[in-house]
Structures are given as C-alpha cells and as structure tokens.
Amino acid sequence: MIIRSKAPLRLGLAGGGTDVAPYSDIYGGAILNATISMYAYATIQPRNDGKIIFNSVDKNEHYELKSTDRLKIDGNLDLHKGIYNRIIKSFIKKPVSFELTTFVDAPPGSGLGTSSTLVVTILGAFTEWLNLPLGEYDMARLAYEIERIDLKMAGGKQDQYAATFGGVNFMEFYKDDKVIVNPLRIKTAYLNELAYNLVLFNTETSRLSSKIIEAQSQNVIRKNKISIEATHNLKQQAIMMKEAILKGELDKIGEILDYGWQNKKLMANDISNSFIDEIYDIAIRNGATGGKISGAGGGGFMIFYCPNNTRSKVIKALSKFGGEAKRYEFTTSGLNTWTI
C-alpha cells in the first residue's frame, strides 16, 4: 500500500503580516492569497519492522529511526518529527512504523509558504492512512498548532489554510483566534489575465523568515506607531485587492501591490534591502506598475504586475540579476490525498 498527498504553494497578494501574532490577536487581520501550480508532496509506505524512515528528496536528507511514541526534536527534519509526535499524542496513542518521503517544488525561504504547506501535506498523508477525523478547518488549525505551538516556529496563520483549502481566498483572522476562509468566485477571464500579467521572479536568494517575523511582532508589542499603522494599511489593502479582482478592475492591481509594498517595508527592518530595492526599481522602470516580496521578506520570490504586454520586457530586464521568472497557473483545489 502506498499513500500519497500533495498541497499547493501560495502567492500572498495582499494583507501579508496581518495574520501574525500579536497583531492578529489584538486588532484582527485580513489576507488575500491564491494557490499556484507548485506543490509539496508526501508519500507514506507502511512498514512492519519497527523502523521509521524519513526521506526529504529536495533537501537530500535521509534518517532511519526506531519507532517510538515520541521522536526527539533535534534540528533534523523537525517538521516531519513534530507531525508524527502530535499524531501519536492526539490520535492513535501508539508507535507506528513507516517510510515517509517528501518533496517541495520551491526551496525553504522562498516566501511561498513551503514549510506550512509541507506540514499540511504530511498531515494529509497520515490522515489518509490512519483515517483521522480531520475536516479542512481542523487540518489547517492542527498544522498551525504543530508549527507555531509544538515546534515554536515563528510565523502567521495564512499558509496552513491556503494549502488546505486552495484557490483564491479572502481570509479573516479574529481576535478570539478564529479564522474564516472566504473563497472568491472570480471570472475565469480575470483570473487568466491576472496570472498572465503577474510575473513570479525567483531572486535566487533565501532568508530566515523567523527573524523578520520576530522583529515585526516585537514592534507591535512595543507599540511602534509606524509599524502598527503600516500593518493597519495592509489589512485595508487586502480589502482593496479583493474588490479589484472581483470587479475585474485589474488595472488597479499594480497600484494596490505598490501601496502594500511601501507599507510592508515599514513593518520591520530587513524586509527589504538594497538588492531587493534595485530589482523592484528595474521592474518598475520597464513597465511593471507594482509588486512585492513574497512572504515575510528579505529574499526569495518577488511578484510584479506587468500590464499591457510589458511582461516580456520586465522579465528580460530582471535577467541581469541572475534569477528566473517562474511559470505557474492559479489552482482551484487545495490538499489532495489518495491511496494506491
């Protein structure tokens, strides 16, 4: 028997950072994101020899462990171990033996939600195998708890819900820790045009998002007025983006992205740097009307809105930085699992 699962990575289009505590706990947050045709994959093959084997193909890591009721968190594939530990503790109450193989289409630090998407994908495989009683909201919430509470990894709430639900969603984060996912019914022509005009550029750099997120959180705790006001503006940006996409007012997308980017840079230091600023300026000079860093900032992928057939000119201009424009499509589904 082979159990497989996959879940899509996401582009954060607006509101990024408003899902991060303590801002979301104090003020509430709003995000607009969309999943794309880049995925995290997981395969489970049950064993009966008392071993647990982890294979991370993209990281080229392989570990063989004795099956116990709790695996040591030691810096080696801790996401895999943390998920296993929670499943044993909360559901099946006994060790199991298996081989888990994973792969992600983008590297860590890309800003596309890779870690959270991988957690959702692995959870999905275990749910398929063990028939766990998890609906979509349960799955996303459990993935969030494993990352943020069990493993104490800094970050927000949007990625787990994006990977689980899929599609284009307007997400609301409430002060009582409640999350509401609102799927948007967007005309196919609007979505196709958005995908065509929105260039996804890999800067070929990565960053440790936890440090940036921690700085952002500290600014809220210390009541930094500039940072908090910028985050308020990003929450409003999510509403602006939702209205523009639903109405097909795509000529406003670049301006809305730029509004968000200018505010995001005020949330914490290191969100941008001279290299990122230069990339952004070159894109704008060659026809992009706005853009942003994907994820927390500091590196990874950037997106640029390039209307009126400026796409090719922008991509050519950005080639001087040695990165790559990544082809993608928006997806309508989230986590998928199956058994062979």
Q: Would you put residue 177 in left (φ > 0), alpha (ψ -120 to 50) or beta? A: left
28 to 16, 21, 172, 176, 216: CA distances (angstroms):
13, 9, 8, 9, 15
Could you say which of 58, 159, 270, 281 is catalytic?
159
What does the alpha-carbon distance between residue 316 and residue 199 come to, in Å, rounded to a whole number? 12
Q: Which two tokens stand for residue 73?
A: 């968190």
Helix (H, G, I), strand (E, B) or coil at 235: helix
Strands 301-305 and 198-202: antiparallel
Give the H/E segment covering residue 81.
helix 78-87
Cβ pair 272, 265 in contact under 8 A? yes
Q: Which two tokens stand for residue 316?
A: 């050519």
49 catalytic residue (yes or no): no
What does the alpha-carbon distance between residue 334 and residue 8 come to, in Å, rounded to a whole number? 6
27 to 133, 135, 242: CA distances (angstroms):
32, 27, 20
Residue positions annotated with a catalytic role: 159
